[in-house]
Chain A
Amino acid sequence: MQDLLSKTKTKTATKNIRTNNKIHVILMVLLPLLLFFLSICFGRYWVSPETVLKILFTHVLPITPDWSALQESVVLSIRLPRIILVMLVGAGLAVAGAAFQGLFGNPLVSPDILGVSAGAGFGAALAIMASGQLALIQLMAFSFGIVAVVITYSIGHLKTGTPLFMLVLSGVITGAFFQALISLLKYLADPNDKLPTIVYWLMGSMAGATYTDLIIGMPLILGGIFILYLLRWRINILSLDEEEARSLGIDVQCLRWLVIIAATVITATAVSLCGIVGWVGLVVPHIGRMLVGPDHRKLLPACISIGAFLLLFIDNIARSATSAEIPLSILTAVIGAPFFAYLLRKTGGKW
């Protein structure tokens, strides 16, 4: 009898967990979509949801335009590409962060641990000094982001048995080196013209996002996310001791490099399109773990949703709180740091 009782109890318990899971899944799909739609309406120039819907579907459905050219331009040319880019970058950085935290078996790692952001920042600053052309800035940022990771790799030279912290330390070295170079460029830059551009760019901004940005960035970021998403169960195993992972038949070297390449491409692309956006890659995986647990099979999809949602929310504040744009990194840190502190206190450091 006792046995039967406890059995039914566990059954209802698992049932509760399952319905909870279903609600989680539905919320994680719906909330970002809802915010996506609201964000198009929202801003210093309010466009009614009805008008937004009409404008969005104007090319698909036969709708007679009853809105102003300004409204259409705000919705289609300014807000839509920006919002899509924000969601892509948010999702990408969050997934890259979660994958790196799994790979290094360390929940305090962020996607730029291997120096990619510092490298990309230097590339961008160099391009701003040289010409200031947007395409050149993006190309240089991306290339130097990759170069930084390659340098980190050659210093930390990962072989079977080399401890992973070698790679982390090499990342710290590379990052510090490129930070110094950035400082040098700032010091040399013309304080009336180039310096503000560099500083502003390094703080991250989504302003001026265009469809061209999306055409370049979308395949790279989505590709990276897709690879990490496919590897999500293997990342569980990768987070164990190296020998333990090998004894589970995993080619640890190969898998590590797949994860590093995918995460680096995501981060380098994000930085080259909108500057350095801190905190998202560090904090979002923690929120994800609180909601769905540490299993990367669930954590990675959760990070896609939470990352997109959170960065979009913050960017909405960035573009509408004041008449001038607030740089993204300021807001992600101002909101992210206290929130992270709260999470740490609440979970007591159990991941």
Chain B
Amino acid sequence: MKLEVENGEYNYPKGKTLFQRVNFYIDKGEILTILGPNGVGKTTLLKCTTSLLKWTMGNTFIDGWSIDELGQKTIWKSIGYVPQGNGSVFSYTVLDMVLMGRAPRLGLFSLPSRKDIEFARHSLEMVGISHLENKACSEISGGELQLVLIARALTSQPQILILDEPESHLDFKNQLIILDILMKVAKQEGISCIINTHYPDHALHISDKTLMLGKNKEAIFGKSEKIITEENLKEYFDVDVRIIPFDYGGKKLKTIVPVAI
């Protein structure tokens, strides 16, 4: 499945433009990261892309279909959305929370069946938290909650996964866990992933493509290695950085170090 955004523009209700002329696309099994400093509208961009917010101009196309022409149910069968982790007031169990992901595939008055529960268990297994099944969502850590939300999105069997800063607020290990899961989901299951992140390192590490947003600047889009360069980071984040290549177990990796403002 291919998702494409053409000429995306979003204005606040009072008329101020948040971003404009945003263009990007993603093919099956690819990972796209959206990079940009605080306040450039990354979350808003994701919401517009999924139809949670309305574009002021431009549009999202899924396999060539404009997203307005598709019904909400159809959209949410193909797109799994992972919001920034805020739990619920009620402490549902992990399994119940993940089971909610089946909603786009069930009728208004129907309850999830045994089969739906199997789907939920399968996604718990995919993200490696089967052992948490009966825990309450209020009793688990922030990293585990993020995994629960990813599992919930996977439970609707989407073809595209859209994640809003899935690895912020997490420690090193949990960040790596999330990144590994995204790679697995994209490369093994062929589910395309779009993620927002504050970490250019992560973008370099996992993503095929990158969209970089800046304040009052034209958004740029392309292959991650071409977009994430010292010059671009200086221009878009207003920070001097060094990109340092190194070898780790025969793999060539890169790290990004901010050196001066």
Residues of A within 8 A of B (CB): 14, 102, 105-107, 230-234, 236-237, 239-241, 243-244, 246-251, 255, 289, 293-295, 297, 350-351
Q: Is there contact, CB below 8 Å, between A249 and B111?
A: no
Give how many A-B residue pairs fall within 8 Å (CB-CB).
75
Contact with A along B94-117 (1 / 0, CB 8 A): 001000110111001111100000
Partner of B96 from the list A102, A106, A295 (CB cut-off 8 Å) is A295
Residues of A within 8 A of B109 (CB): 230-231
Q: Closest 6 interchain pairs by CB?
A: A249-B104, A249-B76, A294-B90, A247-B81, A248-B103, A230-B109
Within 8 A of A (CB), among B112-150: 112, 134, 138
Q: Is there contact, CB below 8 Å, between A107 and B90?
A: yes
Residues of A within 8 A of B104 (CB): 248-249
Residues of B within 8 A of A239 (CB): 88-90
Known: A240-B88, A247-B50. 15 other contacts (CB 8 A): A14-B134, A231-B109, A234-B108, A239-B90, A243-B47, A243-B83, A247-B83, A249-B77, A250-B103, A251-B72, A289-B90, A294-B92, A295-B92, A350-B91, A351-B89
Interface of A is mostly: loop
Q: Which residue of B lies closest to A107 (CB)?
A: B89
Residues of B within 8 A of A250 (CB): 103
Q: Give chain A nearest CB distance to B117 CB in angstroms.
A: 12
Residues of B within 8 A of A (CB): 47, 50, 52, 72-73, 75-77, 79, 81, 83, 86, 88-93, 96, 100-101, 103-105, 108-112, 134, 138, 152, 156
Q: Is there contact, CB below 8 Å, between A246 and B93?
A: no
Q: Which residue of B lies closest to A243 (CB)?
A: B52
Alpha-carbon separation in the docked complex, A20 to B114 (Å): 20
A-B contact pairs, 23 of them (CB 8 A): A105-B88, A105-B89, A236-B96, A237-B103, A240-B100, A241-B86, A243-B52, A243-B83, A244-B83, A246-B52, A247-B79, A247-B83, A248-B100, A248-B104, A249-B73, A249-B104, A249-B105, A255-B108, A294-B90, A294-B92, A350-B91, A350-B138, A351-B91
Residues of B within 8 A of A106 (CB): 89
Partner of B76 from the list A107, A232, A247 (CB cut-off 8 Å) is A247
Partner of A237 from the list B52, B100, B134 (CB cut-off 8 Å) is B100
Q: Is there contact, CB below 8 Å, between A233 and B81?
A: no
Residues of B within 8 A of A14 (CB): 134
Contact A249:B156 (CB < 8 A) given known A231-B109, A233-B112 = yes
Residues of B within 8 A of A105 (CB): 88-90
Alpha-carbon separation in the docked complex, A93 to B65 (Å): 46
Alpha-carbon separation in the docked complex, A241 to B88 (Å): 8
Q: Give chain A nearest CB distance to B82 CB in angstroms.
A: 9
Residues of A within 8 A of B156 (CB): 248-249
Alpha-carbon separation in the docked complex, A231 to B106 (Å): 12
Residues of B within 8 A of A241 (CB): 83, 86
Residues of A within 8 A of B110 (CB): 233
Q: Give chain B nearest CB distance to A66 CB in angstroms.
A: 49
Which has the most chain A C-beta neighbours within 10 Å: B88, B90, B101? B90
Q: Give chain B nearest CB distance to A293 CB in angstroms.
A: 7
Q: Which residue of B lies closest to A14 (CB)?
A: B134
Q: Give chain A nearest CB distance to B73 CB in angstroms.
A: 5
Q: Give chain A nearest CB distance to B34 CB in angstroms.
A: 17
Q: Is there contact, CB below 8 Å, between B111 and A351?
A: no
Alpha-carbon separation in the docked complex, A255 to B110 (Å): 14
Q: Is there contact, CB below 8 Å, between A246 and B89?
A: no
Q: Which residue of A lies closest to B76 (CB)?
A: A249
